[in-house]
């Protein structure tokens, strides 16, 4: 009887250890296959800095060219923001047109909450 208890304990330990090994290998495989999505995206300023560094080094830009390209990027960013804002306003107006008055009030509340969360994410300040 003593031998069987020892065997049961050994088999339980073996099952536990094999589960731990399979889990560790599975996690490692999963983390590796997630690819670029696993890396955090650089913020827009960091992305732009890297982009300009690559442009300067690969294209051998002089200072005047770099300044002009920087101005182009600034202008395009502003145009993009304006266009996105216009599209968002249009989307909201079209959604409001579909809703009844009670739903419109709740929709506006949802939009304000979403805006607070967005500000919090960018500034780090908690919502009110």
| pLDDT digits 0-9 by tens, 33-79 | 665 555 677 788 999 999 999 999 999 999 999 999 999 999 999 99
Q: pLDDT-based confidence at 32, cuts 50/70/90? A: confident
Quote the strand ranges of the chain, DSSP E: none
**How high is the pLDDT of residue 36?**
56
Better-scored residue on pLDDT, 94 or 27: 94
Task: State the Cα–Cα distance between residues 119 and 102, nearest whole angstrom.
Answer: 26
Contact 96, 89 (CB under 8 A): no
SS3 53: helix
Cβ neighbours of residue 42 closer than 8 Å, sequence gap 6 or more: 50
Cβ neighbours of residue 117 closer than 8 Å, sequence gap 6 or more: 127
Among 6-15, 29-38, 98-107, which stretch is predicted with the lowest mean pLDDT? 29-38
Contact 95, 107 (CB under 8 A): yes
Task: State the Cα–Cα distance between residues 117 and 124, nearest whole angstrom.
Answer: 10
SS3 40: coil
Instruction: Give this prediction's pTM.
Output: 0.54
């Amino acid at each position: 009887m003593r031998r069987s208890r020892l065997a049961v304990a050994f088999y339980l330990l073996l099952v536990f250890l094999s589960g731990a090994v399979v889990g560790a290998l599975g996690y490692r495989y999963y983390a590796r296959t997630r690819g670029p999505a696993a890396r955090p995206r650089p913020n827009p300023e960091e992305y732009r800095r890297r982009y300009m560094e690559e442009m300067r080094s690969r294209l051998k830009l002089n200072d005047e060219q770099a300044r002009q390209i920087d101005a182009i990027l600034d202008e395009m960013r502003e145009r993009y923001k304006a266009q996105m804002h216009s599209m968002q306003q249009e989307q909201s107006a079209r959604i409001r047109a579909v809703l009844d008055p009670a739903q419109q009030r709740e929709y506006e509340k949802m939009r304000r909450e979403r805006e607070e969360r967005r500000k919090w994410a960018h500034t780090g300040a908690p919502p009110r």
